[in-house]
Structure 1
Amino acid sequence: MLEAVTLDQLRTFIAAADYGSFSEAGRRIGRAQSVVSQTLANLEGQLGVQLFDRSSRRPMLTAIGRELLADARQVANDMDRLKARAKGMAVGLEPELQIVVHVFLPISVLTQAVSSFQRHFPRTPLRLSVEGMGAVIEPVLAGQCSFGVRAPLFEDQPELTSEHVMTLPYLMVASPQHPLAQYREAIPTRELKKHIQLVLSDRSHHANPTDMGVLSPQTWRLSDLSAKYAFLKAGLGFGGMPLHAIASDIANGSLVALEFEETRANVSMSISAIYRTDMPPGPAGRWLLDELKKVAAMQHATPHQG
């Protein structure tokens, strides 16, 4: 009987679980409550398990139902992805490619990939935005960009598909004149709290619920990476920077890498591409995304962690 399970049944199951009632699920998907109830009863019969406990006024997912809900979502998402990709192939090349990238993406990777893109798609205009933190997500969710390239966020977006692009080393640094740079051994956490930390802020509606990498209660928040870089070199505070942006400064001594006693100062940051599952990149967008991965692998051969 499993072969007879339909996508419509799975979507009805997902709607009933998400909205907490058969009547509300019916309103959302345009079905009568009786049709929803019968569809779910048929699905339970075909699967041979009980998905909902109907003993109370509102149906509740059983333990088995909760387990199978994730599988149902995966099947539905895979079907959405299949249909969307087929549609993209049918309509051909995009009339314009619009993407948004995080400020941490190395400009050398972006430039080389875009140069190749121009040779392969000379008639496809490119519109590029550079943003910070959660601001990469917003135009992708709104359907304004084919894809985005972002740094890690704690907040998952279930409607987005993510693909790893590269891993970047990320260092905590300060000017050689800064008091923290005078330490010749690991810096105690209590000392960090005495100094201003320069933090890249997030102006978007998808900001992290917690401050990633914030180690001091004294913070100056900046929305621009170049301003943060200039403030670090001026000795106005300590803070984290992607290694590729400060490698020459570390080499010539104009910035000093810090080591902390109780917290890792040097970490690896995963950079990933994101796009709406129901709106995957078209042929030109897909090509550029793959080219970014290839160029990143050649320029930054840091293994993916995680």
Structure 2
Amino acid sequence: MVEYSLDQLECFVTAAKAGSFSEAGRQLNKAQSAVSTSVANLEIDFGVPLFDRSGKYLELTSEGEVLLREAETILYRCARLQNRALAFAADVETRVRVAIDEALRSPLLEVLPEFAAQFPATEMDVSEGLFTDVHRAVALGHADIGLLIGTGIPEPTVKYKLLGYIPFQAAVAAHHPLAAKKQVAVSDLEDERQIIITSRGEQRHSEITPFSHRLWVAESYASGLGMIRKGVGWAFLPEPVLQDATGDGSIVALSLELEHRVHTSPLYLLWKRDDVVGQAGQWLFEMFAEMGSRLADG
């Protein structure tokens, strides 16, 4: 059986990427001779040359190219093993399952890189839904944490924390007749088709009033936005969705003559009442609270 150390594999991989033993030694804070000797001993253990040393720079042999990929895999798995062991010792979850309102996709994506850096050994499962979909995922134990826009269903096993209120604005396609108006009256909305976003259970935001007698229903924001872009109607959209949708100019927000009626919907953080939340979950709680404050401020 071939015997080798992780240190030897690290010297091999670093030298292959650096192109020289001297540069590898500098990166590893080792003497050049120590790196060269370590790789030479590895070649003896493997029984094949890993590098062609005849030129100015190190060149991998055909055997070395194959073994380099294997060595990189071993080092990666060892690092992952160590990170997970450290996570267990530090009371960090190995996996966090998050269910979010579909409208919060972009705000969530903004915090994920920092989460990955803070908790490299923690797996993240993200599911999306609307209204009761998110609540149900937490209540049934399919998600550890939920972010819900709208009023949740009272459930004794689920705890709620109000993070703020998400503003909604009316939006249409840039080529829709309503887009040409500087101010849009209630009567204008009543005359045009309204698109309502619902969950699969046909639940919709109770705060959003149907203005038009002509309604189309979409079970996702993606479908609703598609309808809007085609110019078939207008819809009330939460601020995060509206910001993404108006970026390319195909959809515009309407200026309504409704100053006395501010359309908002509550943003709730959900989690199971009896669950113990670890460090990764607590970190997400804090990030989501900050997210709620930013979104509520518009």
Instruction: Indicate the TM-score class for this superposition, using the shorter chain for normalisation.
Output: 0.5 to 0.7
Indicate whether 1:241 and 2:237 are aligned.
yes
Distance 1:183 1:291, change over 3 A: closer
Distance 1:114 1:262, change over 3 A: closer
Paired AA for residue 120 in structure 1: Q
Contact 1:146 1:280 survives alignment (8 Å): no
**Matching residue of 1:141:** 139
The alignment partner of 1:228 has SS state of helix
- Higher relative CO (Cα under 8 Å, sequence separation at least 6) belongs to 1
Selected match of 2:289 from 260, 275, 293: 293
Deviations 1:104-143 (A, max 9, x none): 1151x31232222212221111111011221101110011
Give the TM-score taking structure 1 as reference length: 0.58
**Matching residue of 2:125:** 127
Deviation at 1:166, TM superposition (A): 4.6
Deviation at 1:102, TM superposition (A): 0.6
Deviation at 1:186, TM superposition (A): 3.6
Contact 2:99 2:134 survives alignment (8 Å): yes
Q: Structure 1 regions of 5+ residues with no counterpart?
A: 1-88
Deviation at 1:94, TM superposition (A): 2.7
**Matching residue of 1:152:** 150
Q: Structure 2 regions of 5+ residues with no counterpart?
A: 1-87
Moved more, 195-204 or 136-145: 195-204
Moved more, 180-189 or 118-127: 180-189
Determine which structure has more spread, i.e. the larger CA radius of gyration.
2
Deviation at 1:208, TM superposition (A): 5.4
Selected match of 1:115 from 113, 116, 133: 113
1:277 and 1:179 mapped to 2: Cα distance? 49
Q: What are the equivalent positions in structure 2 for 1:60-99 lying under 5 Å apart? A: 92-99=91-98
The alignment partner of 2:195 has SS state of strand
Percent identity over the alignment?
19
The alignment partner of 2:199 has SS state of coil
Selected match of 1:196 from 179, 193, 201: 193
Q: What are the equivalent positions in structure 2 for 1:120-269 lying under 5 Å apart? A: 120-153=118-151, 155-189=153-187, 191-204=188-201, 207=203, 212-247=208-243, 250=246, 254-261=250-257, 267-269=263-265
Deviation at 1:182, TM superposition (A): 3.9
**Matching residue of 2:102:** 103
Regions of 4+ moved over 6 Å: none
Distance 1:237 1:122, change over 3 A: same
Deviations 1:186-205 (A, max 9, x none): 4233x433322111111148
**Matching residue of 1:28:** none
1:209 and 1:241 mapped to 2: Cα distance? 11
Contact 1:192 1:215 survives alignment (8 Å): yes
Distance 1:104 1:223, change over 3 A: same
- Residues matched between the structures, number: 211
Moved more, 127-136 or 193-202: 193-202
Contact 2:208 2:263 survives alignment (8 Å): no
Deviation at 1:151, TM superposition (A): 0.2
